[in-house]
Amino acid sequence: MEKQTEQTILAAVDLGSNSFHMVIAKLRDDHFQTVDKLKEMVQLRAGLDKQGRLSGPAQERALACLERFGQRIRNLPKGSVRVVGTNTLRVAKNSDAFLKKAKKALGHSIEIIEGEEEARLIYLGVANALSFDDTRRLVMDIGGGSTEFIIGERFEGLERESLGMGCVSFSQQFFADGILSHDRMKTAIIAAATRLRAIQKRYRDVGWEEAVGASGTIRCVASIVKDAGWAIDGTITLESLDKLIEVMISSGHMASVNLAGLSDERRSVLPGGVAVLKASFEQLKIKQMTVSDGALREGLLYDLLGRISHDDVRDHTVFAMARRYHADQKQTERVVLMLDQFFDQVAKSWRFEPYHRQQLHWAANLHEIGLSIAHHQYQKHSHYLLANSNLPGFSREEQAALAVIVRGQRRRFPIKYIKRLPKGTQLVTQRLTVLLRLAMVFNRGRSVVGTTPVKIQVTAKEVRLFLPVGWLAEHPLTEADLLQEVVYLQATDLRLTIREEA
């Protein structure tokens, strides 16, 4: 992205399971001034049928909302907008088809993020909203289909977890007809407590001094208990939750619940959210919880700021992983040098963007991490580690593409893996893989860092390498590897030719 100016405008869009949120902010001196905020309760999760597919009406609601959002941000530069989908779009079987229509409606690409990445971004948003000191805090966010729990200090999350329970999913499962009873609420709370077993001991052992809620459900509960006089300043306690539950159950049906602070749009999903909150208080031994306005979309803005300021968390993730698996830094430098040499020559013809150079650098840093497992077919081990690790900062699509590029560094070309990627990323991933393979060929000898005098020309169907006359005769092993690459690339629609010229 271009260097920030006083009028840099950034936008973040959170396609949640219950609500869609958008925030537009003006960036000035590394701080945000909110320009506009929009929120619509689309209830995408409620449109997920028994087969795990988004229904037509749910898609229509979502697309109509995104059309309205798109009117505000469609003309903003690509690098200044980040749009993410969460739990429902992670699990919906027809999410790919929906995302194509959603991208057209919004005017920007949409990333699907995993639960731990969602948790990281939520914590980032809350931390910046509250200007955290060194106090250790538990941050909780109840979404429509999942709930995120993060323990952190200042701007660093120490523990992050996403559990498959949310206000919409639990309301559908236990209170679909709106009827409330002690037995139903008890069953819902037990179900939530069962999911919490996976983290409760670890979280209690780590501990925290303050608990903060960051979701619409928790803000709604805080508003209700404050207006009812059950808690001071909207601070949620276990006692105030119990009073809320009793009032709800005594009404018999959510339609009959009459509480200040409860909006009609929140009414149908409140019981499930309250059950999740109650179980969390009990299992994690939360004494009280305050509320923050910061959440996922604010975290997205600060993540964008990091990318603009060349402090990209994805770079930190890659370097940390390279250190963890003892990647050879000298070999990385050799491969990066060659990749940059290739990239500069082909970027225009293959319509590469600066981000694609970044992808190549990530792949170069991580291509040999599989050696920590075994040398035999280490590219497959590298692929497995990348495909199955938690990579903070990376979307699902980015992580999958990076893993495939690394797998394709040698031996058989990974055509079947490329075809599993979204269609819009297949061609560029194939081309990036070709460049990594060629850089590997010229650096297989792991010699001193230097430049190999290679010229490269590309078209849509051909890659031509030009070397000085006599160079191949002086490097017979590299020549043999290049001739083998000619064979390997026959699996693609690209033809590799090697020539010598004066």
SS3 of 336-368: HHHHHHHHHHHCCCCCCCHHHHHHHHHHHHHCC
Query: How far, in Å, CA of 13 to CA of 481, rounded?
Result: 47
pLDDT of residue 5: 46
Bigger pLDDT: 70 vs 308? 70
For the segment 352-395, what is each residue's pLDDT rounded down to a tens digit? Answer: 999 999 999 999 999 999 999 999 999 999 999 999 999 999 99
Q: What does pLDDT average to over the chain? A: 93
Q: Coil, helix or strand for 151? A: strand
Q: Name the residue among 477, 287, 444 with its Cα closest to residue 368.
A: 444
Query: How far, in Å, CA of 289 to CA of 234, rounded?
Result: 9
For the segment 256-284, what is each residue's pLDDT rounded down to a tens digit? Answer: 999 998 988 899 999 999 999 999 999 99
Write down the CATH number for the domain with range 116-295: 3.30.420.150
pLDDT of residue 2: 44
Confidence of residue 188 (pLDDT cuts 50, 70, 90): very high
Averaged pLDDT, 104-126: 94
pLDDT of residue 447: 76
Averaged pLDDT, 48-77: 94
Confidence of residue 398 (pLDDT cuts 50, 70, 90): very high
Give yes or no for residue 111 having a pLDDT over 70. Answer: yes
Phi, psi of 67 (to 5 degrees): -60, -40
Query: How far, in Å, CA of 381 to CA of 407, rounded?
Result: 8
pLDDT of residue 1: 42
pLDDT of residue 7: 54
488 CB-near residues (< 8 Å, 6+ apart): 411, 412, 413, 437
Confidence of residue 405 (pLDDT cuts 50, 70, 90): very high
Q: DSSP strand E in 69-208: where?
A: 81-85, 111-112, 136-142, 147-153, 156-163
Burial category of 9 from C-beta neighbours within 10 Å (exposed 0-12, middle 13-18, buried 19 and up) = middle
pLDDT of residue 105: 95
Q: Name the residue among 75, 70, 81 with its Cα closest to residue 1.
A: 81
For the segment 203-222, what is each residue's pLDDT rounded down to a tens digit? Answer: 999 999 999 999 899 999 99
From-to residues of CATH 3.30.420.150 in the chain: 116-295
Q: Coil, helix or strand for 111? A: strand
Q: What percent of the chain has pLDDT over 90?
A: 86
pLDDT of residue 450: 61
Class of domain 312-449: mainly alpha
Query: How far, in Å, CA of 61 to CA of 69, rounded?
Result: 13
pLDDT of residue 3: 47
Give yes or no for residue 116 having a pLDDT over 90. Answer: yes
Confidence of residue 109 (pLDDT cuts 50, 70, 90): very high
Burial category of 160 from C-beta neighbours within 10 Å (exposed 0-12, middle 13-18, buried 19 and up) = buried
From-to residues of CATH 1.10.3210.10 in the chain: 312-449
Averaged pLDDT, 60-88: 94
Residue type at 237 in one-letter notation: T
Fold of 8-113: Nucleotidyltransferase; domain 5 (3.30.420)
What are the tokens at 6?
A: 């006083």
Confidence of residue 310 (pLDDT cuts 50, 70, 90): confident
From-to residues of CATH 3.30.420.40 in the chain: 8-113
Would you say 174 and 275 are in contact if contact means Cβ atoms under 8 Å apart? yes
Averaged pLDDT, 408-427: 95
pLDDT of residue 28: 78
Q: What percent of the chain has pLDDT over 70?
A: 97
For the segment 338-357, what is each residue's pLDDT rounded down to a tens digit? Answer: 999 999 999 999 999 999 99
Give yes or no for residue 477 having a pLDDT over 90. Answer: yes
Give yes or no for residue 79 having a pLDDT over 90. Answer: no
Burial category of 330 from C-beta neighbours within 10 Å (exposed 0-12, middle 13-18, buried 19 and up) = exposed
